[in-house]
Amino acid sequence: MSNKINFKVCGLPAKYFIPFFIVIMIAAYGGFMPTVTIYSNDAGSYVATSFIMTIAFLMAVGGIFFWLGNTIPIVNNYLGGACLLPLIGASFLNFVGLVPETLVNGTKVLMSGGFQDAYIAMLLVGSILVMDRKILLGATARYLPTILGSQLFALGFCMLAGLVTGFGIPEALFNIGAPCMSGGSGGAMTTLPKLYSDLSGTDMMPMAGQFLCYASIANVLAVVMAAVGGALTSKTKGLNGNGDILRAKGATMQTEGEKRPATSADYVALGSGIFMSFCLYLLGNILGSLPGLSVIPGLAWTIILGIIIKCTGILPAKFEDNCVYSMNFALKSLLPMLIAGIGINSLKFSTLSEYFTPGAFIVIFLGVLGAFIGAMLFGKISGLWAYEAGVTAGLCCCNIGGSGDLAVLSAANRMNLLAFASISTRIGGALMVIWIGLLYPLFH
Instruction: For 394-434, write each residue's pLDDT tens digit.
Output: 998 888 777 678 778 878 888 777 777 877 877 788 888 88
| pLDDT, position 76 | 67
Indicate whether 194 and 64 sit together in one domain. no
What is the total count of domains within the chain?
2
Distances (CA, A) of 151 to 154, 182, 364, 378, 402: 5, 11, 13, 11, 19
Tell me the residue range of the domain where 74 lies.
14-113
278 in a structural domain: yes
Indicate whether 150 and 45 sit together in one domain. no
348 in a structural domain: yes
Indicate whether 338 and 396 sit together in one domain. yes
Indicate whether 49 and 141 sit together in one domain. no
Question: Which residue did the predictor score with more confidence, 2 or 81?
Answer: 81
Q: What are phi and psi of 35, to 5 degrees?
A: -130, 165
Indicate whether 260 and 160 sit together in one domain. yes
Given CA atoms 389, 366, 222, 328 in this order, what sign does their dihedral have?
positive
Report yes or no on whether pTM surpasses 0.75: no
Indicate whether 130 and 78 sit together in one domain. no
The pLDDT mean for the chain works out to 84
Indicate whether 72 and 129 sit together in one domain. no
1 in a structural domain: no
| 79 bridge partner residues | none
Q: How confident is the model at residue 2 (pLDDT cuts 50, 70, 90)?
A: very low
287 in a structural domain: yes
Among 78-82, 177-181, 192-196, 245-249, where is mean pLDDT lowest?
78-82
Q: How confident is the model at residue 349 (pLDDT cuts 50, 70, 90)?
A: confident
> Does residue 60 register a pLDDT over 90?
yes
In the chain, what percentage of residues exceed pLDDT 70? 90
Which of 62, 86, 113 marks a domain boundary?
A: 113
Indicate whether 245 and 277 sit together in one domain. yes
Amino acid letter for position 338? L
| pLDDT, position 205 | 78
| pLDDT, position 114 | 82
| pLDDT, position 140 | 63
| Cβ neighbours around 24 below 10 Å, total | 17
230, containing H or E segment: helix 208-233
Residue 180 CB contacts under 8 Å (≥ 6 apart), including other chains: 188, 214, 215, 217, 218, 364, 367, 368, 398
Q: How confident is the model at residue 61 (pLDDT cuts 50, 70, 90)?
A: very high
| pLDDT, position 259 | 58
What distance in Å separates the CA atoms of residue 369 and residue 140, rounded to the nearest whole number?
Answer: 24
9 in a structural domain: no
8 in a structural domain: no
Q: What are phi and psi of 236, to 5 degrees?
A: -115, 120
Which of 113, 144, 170 marks a domain boundary?
A: 113
Indicate whether 277 and 390 sit together in one domain. yes
144, containing H or E segment: helix 133-165
Burial class (CB in 10 A: 0-12, 13-18, 19+), 407: buried
398 in a structural domain: yes
Contact 397, 215 (CB under 8 A): no
Considering only CA atoms, which of 178, 9, 181, 17 is closest in space to residue 85? 9
3 in a structural domain: no
| pLDDT, position 255 | 43
Q: How confident is the model at residue 246 (pLDDT cuts 50, 70, 90)?
A: confident
Indicate whether 136 and 81 sit together in one domain. no
| pLDDT, position 251 | 47
Indicate whether 91 and 170 sit together in one domain. no
Question: Which residue did the predictor score with more confidence, 287 or 137?
Answer: 287
Indicate whether 180 and 300 sit together in one domain. yes
Which of 63, 93, 113 marks a domain boundary?
A: 113
Mean pLDDT, rounded, for 19-47: 89
Which of 67-71, 142-146, 372-376 is most confident?
372-376
Which is it for strands 35-40 and 44-49: parallel, antiparallel or unpaired?
antiparallel
